[in-house]
């Protein structure tokens, strides 16, 4: 029901803003970790061979992997150092688990881009592979947790709210892409983007979302105090974020179709599950963090 979606959104928005801007960095990371663990529970529902006990076990193993990443990474207070591209070699030397998880997550989304294009080829085969489906869940959700925490930690030692602004910037781009796509798709949509996955999505909607996101990026430049040499890179990043937010949405649609589910869950009235709300964020957060690092935005 539309009113349920509106009420849920009105409740979630202030809570999200509070978490982004008011919570200490570690507490923010814990909140995101809890959301991600709920996401793992929903993902386990896509693995149709899992019994109820197996689903709980999968979430427990996922929590253990997250703990491993946390304990084998740079202390969270130093994550603001991710903004310096020249430290990539040092991260690799240290085998920083957080950084490696972001790289693996980004590589997964490049694979997902191909899967969306070739769907439904091979879809049933990888849908029946328990180990592969389990690993895909880890590649999607663990980097999401790491990336959002990393974005929140950018510039943390020098400006408490710097990373908060960058997290909100990424979220607003994803939301702008969704809103722009919905409006332009309704008004102008004629050419289907992926009819077998999402019949309502159109190319006109994607372009409309990209335009709205670019407008938002231009408006945000002064608010985020972005240096002039980063303007072009930020514009390119905005388009990439729009593209991969769509890929995130379509990728989840693949796995929902494989498992025969309409929504990932029912925890959010009018919206479905956690994965239904963060599918675009899971695809864009790792890419956004790496892009900020490469651009040197701090």
Instruction: Kindly report, residue by residue over 33-65, the tens digit of the pLDDT.
Output: 999 999 999 999 999 889 999 999 999 999 999
For the segment 223-245, what is each residue's pLDDT rounded down to a tens digit?
A: 776 777 777 878 888 888 888 99
For the segment 243-296, what is each residue's pLDDT rounded down to a tens digit?
A: 899 899 888 888 888 888 887 877 766 667 899 888 889 999 999 888 887 777
**Long-range residue pairs from 233-240, CB within 8 A, at least 24 positions apart, any chain:** 233/291, 233/295, 234/295, 234/297, 237/288, 237/291, 237/295, 238/173, 238/210, 238/213, 238/214, 239/210, 239/213, 239/214, 240/287, 240/291
What are the structural domain ranges in the chain? 2-295
Q: How many CB atoms lie within 10 A of CB 136?
A: 21
Helix (H, G, I), strand (E, B) or coil at 219: helix
Helix (H, G, I), strand (E, B) or coil at 49: coil
For the segment 123-151, what is each residue's pLDDT rounded down to a tens digit?
A: 667 777 899 999 999 999 999 999 999 88
Per-residue pLDDT band for 198 (boundaries 50, 70, 90) equals: confident
Tell me the average pLDDT of the chain.
Answer: 81
């Amino acid at each position: 029901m539309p009113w349920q979606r509106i009420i849920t959104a009105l409740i979630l928005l202030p809570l999200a803003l509070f978490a982004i801007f008011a919570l200490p960095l570690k507490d923010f990371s814990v909140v995101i970790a809890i959301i991600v663990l709920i996401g793992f529970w929903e993902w386990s529902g896509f693995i149709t061979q899992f019994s109820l006990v197996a689903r709980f076990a999968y979430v427990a193993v996922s929590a253990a992997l997250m703990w491993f990443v946390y304990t084998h990474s740079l202390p969270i207070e130093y994550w603001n150092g991710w903004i310096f591209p020249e430290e990539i070699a040092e991260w690799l030397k240290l085998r920083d688990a957080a950084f490696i998880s972001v790289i693996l997550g980004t590589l997964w989304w490049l694979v997902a881009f191909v899967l969306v294009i070739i769907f439904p080829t091979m879809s049933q085969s990888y849908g029946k592979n328990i180990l592969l489906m389990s690993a895909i869940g880890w590649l999607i959700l663990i980097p999401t947790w790491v990336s959002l925490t990393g974005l929140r930690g950018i510039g943390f030692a020098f400006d408490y709210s710097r990373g908060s602004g960058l997290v909100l910037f990424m979220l607003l781009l994803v939301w702008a892409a969704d809103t722009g796509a919905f409006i332009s798709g309704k008004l102008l949509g004629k050419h289907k983007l992926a009819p077998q996955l999402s019949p309502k999505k159109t190319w006109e909607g994607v372009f409309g979302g990209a335009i709205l996101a670019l407008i938002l990026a231009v408006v945000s430049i002064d608010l985020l105090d972005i240096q002039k040499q980063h303007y072009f890179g930020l514009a390119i990043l905005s388009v990439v974020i729009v593209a991969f937010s769509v890929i995130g949405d379509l990728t989840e649609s693949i796995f929902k179709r494989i498992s025969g589910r309409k929504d990932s869950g029912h925890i959010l009235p009018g919206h479905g599950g956690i994965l239904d709300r963060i599918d675009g964020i899971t695809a864009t957060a790792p890419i956004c963090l790496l892009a900020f690092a490469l651009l040197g935005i701090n």
